[in-house]
């Protein structure tokens, strides 16, 4: 159990910006996004597009709603991303044969080939953080646990 004093900054103020976990997460996310913008420039895709590609590299031929569930994105946000990826011929979208209401997304040959170009990105990102592989895994596990806990309340 944590003591209330653990949440105080050096001046004893729980409401100090530096005492806020939410701000630490927000600031780290901004820095991580900036890093990935730079790394993804050579692939000519954005960070949200990269996330879609990661999902499809894991499991091709998913519905828009299936991708949205994995990324916690609604179809209104996802559809423009997919249109742009389709425009640069990384994915193709088609109505499902089983259910015309569903749109299936699949990788093109160019989309599959991009995976090889992206392979070094996680290693470069890890190096940029200054964390070892075990430290990165521990941090990722902690963040995933935090998300699961917050989603449950």
Confidence at residue 127, expressed as pLDDT on a 0 to 100 scale: 96
Is there a domain that residue 92 lies in? yes
* CATH number assigned to the domain comprising residue 81: 1.10.10.10
The residue among 67, 21, 26, 23 whose CA lies nearest residue 48 is 67
CB-based contact 64:101 (threshold 8 Å): no
- Domain range for 108 is 26-122
* Reported pTM: 0.85
Is there a domain that residue 146 lies in? no
Beta bridge partners, 105, equal 62, 93
Is there a domain that residue 141 lies in? no
Query: How many domains does the chain fold into?
Result: 1
Is there a domain that residue 94 lies in? yes
Per cent of the chain over pLDDT 90 is 86
Confidence at residue 10, expressed as pLDDT on a 0 to 100 scale: 67
DSSP 12: S
Distances (CA, A) of 33 to 26, 29, 78, 109, 135: 11, 6, 18, 27, 19
Parallel, antiparallel, or unpaired for β 91-95 and 62-63?
unpaired
Beta bridge partners, 93, equal 105
Mean pLDDT value across residues 102-111: 96
Instruction: Write the pLDDT tens digit of every residue in 15-49.
Output: 999 999 999 999 999 999 999 999 999 999 999 99
Is there a domain that residue 101 lies in? yes
pLDDT for 3 beyond 90? no
Instruction: Write the pLDDT tens digit of every residue in 77-104.
Output: 999 999 999 999 999 999 988 888 899 9
Is there a domain that residue 131 lies in? no
Distance CA 88, CA 110 (A): 9
């Amino acid at each position: 159990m944590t003591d209330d004093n653990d949440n105080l900054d050096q001046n004893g103020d729980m409401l100090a910006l530096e005492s806020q976990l939410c701000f630490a997460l927000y600031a780290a996310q901004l820095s991580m996004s900036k890093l990935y913008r730079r790394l993804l420039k050579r692939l000519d895709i954005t960070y949200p597009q990269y996330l879609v590609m990661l999902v499809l590299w894991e499991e091709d031929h998913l519905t828009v709603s299936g991708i949205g569930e994995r990324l916690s994105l609604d179809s209104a946000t996802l559809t423009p991303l997919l249109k742009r990826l389709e425009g640069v011929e990384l994915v193709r979208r088609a109505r499902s044969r089983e259910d015309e209401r569903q749109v299936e997304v699949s990788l093109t040959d160019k989309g599959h080939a991009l995976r090889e170009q992206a392979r070094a990105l996680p290693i470069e990102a890890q190096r940029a953080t200054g964390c070892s592989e075990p430290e990165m895994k521990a941090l990722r596990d902690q963040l995933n646990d935090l998300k699961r806990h917050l989603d449950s309340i």
